[in-house]
């Protein structure tokens, strides 16, 4: 049983950690950061939620689904979603690698485009490395959250 202080701390800390994770993810193709560290910080936020509440909190409290009792952790819908995120990340990473080959460039060739006239930012550079980072992010989040969920259920 966790305390009210722990739950309140989680409610305040988790959004901050997720904003920092998104920021690191988005700056990763130009500066240090990217899919890996953004994924690790996202997992840290989820672990904080699991410590403050429990594994079933995301299913019942956030998504409003009823949790089936007596099922193994591998059949848990949240764990299944984590495994799907891992597989989707692998597909995105491989797809971004082979995309360069389709246009005659070497494997994992990076390209970018400048978009002008964007409100607030005025000019945005979109790089193909962002797609690769998204795949890495999904692989890290999916694999680590699957491990954390299985280990915490033991």
125 or 46: which leads in pLDDT: 46
Q: Is the pTM of this model over 0.85?
A: no
pLDDT of residue 53: 83
pLDDT of residue 86: 95
Average pLDDT value over all residues in the chain: 83
pLDDT of residue 51: 85
pLDDT of residue 55: 72
| Two tokens, residue 61 | 């409290």
Structure confidence by residue, pLDDT tens digits, 56-114? 776 665 555 565 565 666 667 778 888 999 999 999 999 988 888 888 888 888 888 88
Report the alpha-carbon distance of residue 134 to residue 126 in Å, rounded. Answer: 13
Report the alpha-carbon distance of residue 150 to residue 86 in Å, rounded. Answer: 15
Structure confidence by residue, pLDDT tens digits, 15-64? 999 999 998 888 877 676 788 999 999 999 989 988 888 777 766 655 55
Q: For residue 48, what are the contacts with CB-CB under 8 A and spacing of at least 6?
A: 10, 13, 14, 17
pLDDT of residue 90: 96
* Torsion angles phi and psi, residue 117, rounded to 5: 80, 20
């Amino acid at each position: 049983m966790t305390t009210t202080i722990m739950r309140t701390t989680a409610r305040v800390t988790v959004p901050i950690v997720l904003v920092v994770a998104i920021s690191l993810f988005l700056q990763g193709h130009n500066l240090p950061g990217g899919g890996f560290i953004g994924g690790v910080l996202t997992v840290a936020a989820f672990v904080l939620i699991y410590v403050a509440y429990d594994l079933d909190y995301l299913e019942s409290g956030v998504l409003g689904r009823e949790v089936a009792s007596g099922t193994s952790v591998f059949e848990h819908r949240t764990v299944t979603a984590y495994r799907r995120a891992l597989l989707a990340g692998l597909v995105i990473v491989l797809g971004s690698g082979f995309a360069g080959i389709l246009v005659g460039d070497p494997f994992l060739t990076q390209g970018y485009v400048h978009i002008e006239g964007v409100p607030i930012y005025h000019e945005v550079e979109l790089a193909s490395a962002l797609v690769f980072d998204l795949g890495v992010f999904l692989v890290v989040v999916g694999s680590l959250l699957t491990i954390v969920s299985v280990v915490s259920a033991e």
